Amino acid sequence: MFAARHLRSAESVAFKEFRSRPGSPPERRRFRTEARILGSIDHPHVVAARDVIEDDTIWALVMELLSRGSLRQHIRSGLGLAQTGRVLEDLLSGLGQLESQHVVHLDIKPDNLLVTSSGRIKITDFGVAQEVGPGRERQAELIGGTPQYLAPEQAAGAPLGAWTDLYAVGIMAFELLVGRPPFADTHDLVDIMDRHLHDRIPRVCDVLPGMSIAMADWIDRLVSKTPSDRPQSAEDAWDELDKLLTECLGSSWRLAAGL
């Protein structure tokens, strides 16, 4: 992905290019799925599509350009509870829109969250996203994602849904507060996936003494190995988080929440 200028609008944009290869219909289908999903979403916390280019040799998505880069560079040493809450508010708002359109992202991580000039968050990179509405439930194959944030059902080939992205939100909440994901002590991808399947995610209050027990409990629900034990929608997850942030930090907690 690189910066470019859109000739029709003269706007600075992000240009995500895919090169076609002989015998690559799966890649073309994936490109068209990403283009269709991104083009159908209009939400303040999802990156906006500007154009789609497709011919015999090149496919490209043209998107709004956000100059502050990804969230990754802002969390090297962890964020405070208020900043974490604001990031999660924006992320869950964007995921709520995806849910309403029967889309699961399947690769939620700091690298795929862009920071706006005002310090807010937008979801990007729908390269492995899937449409999963009634009759379109996906399962039985490992369809992508990043091992450090991979839900157990992704690793096991089980049914996927909104609950799958919420697991990744829980892993990311841990990382936002601690400064690293739970299984950062290994780089073996198979080992990481096995640990997501079988090992308990450490409680954030055990890693960060003094951290809110309520926040640790909230994260624990999101990273439950059993999807039915997690909140079943982004709205439900946010309602719980909003309440605990207000109880922990007061009703004006957003005043100290800027990135």
Domain ranges of the chain: 2-64, 71-256
Judge whether residue 160 has pLDDT over 70. Answer: yes
Greater model confidence, 164 or 8: 164
pLDDT for the residue 141: 47
Amino acid residing at 50? R
In sequence order, the β-bridge partners of residue 49 are 63
Nearest Cα to Cα of residue 184 among 169, 166, 202: 202
Confidence of residue 198 (pLDDT cuts 50, 70, 90): very high
Question: 35: pLDDT confidence band, cut at 50, 70 and 90?
Answer: confident
Query: Among residues of the chain, what percentage have pLDDT more than 70?
Result: 88
Please check the confidence at residue 9 and state whether its pLDDT lies above 80: no
pLDDT at 15: 67
Residue 127: what residue type?
G
Whether pLDDT at 11 is above 70: no
pLDDT 10s digits, 42-66: 999 999 888 777 777 778 788 888 8
| Phi, psi (degrees; rounded to nearest 5) at 50 | -110, -30
- pLDDT value at residue 139: 46
> What is the CATH T-level fold of the domain 2-64, as seen in this structure?
Phosphorylase Kinase; domain 1 (3.30.200)
CATH dotted code for 71-256 = 1.10.510.10
Per-residue pLDDT at 27:
74
Per-residue pLDDT tens over the stretch 210-219:
999 999 999 9
Q: Where are the beta strands (DSSP E) in 88-246?
A: 103-104, 113-115, 121-123, 130-131
The rounded distance, in Å, linking the Cα atoms of 170 and 173 is 5
pLDDT reported for residue 75:
87
pLDDT tops 90 at residue 133: no
What pTM does this model have? Answer: 0.90
The 10s digit of each residue's pLDDT in 73-85 is 888 778 999 999 9
Inform me whether the pLDDT recorded for 166 exceeds 50.
Answer: yes
Candidates 107, 125, 165, 220; catalytic one:
107
With CA atoms as reference, report the closest residue to 104 among 88, 122, 126, 134. Answer: 126
Q: In the annotation, is 107 catalytic?
A: yes
Task: Please report the pLDDT score of residue 84 as a whole number.
Answer: 96
Answer yes or no: is pLDDT of 95 > 70.
yes
Query: Distance between CA 136 and CA 82 in Å, rounded?
Result: 37
Q: What is the pLDDT of residue 142?
A: 47
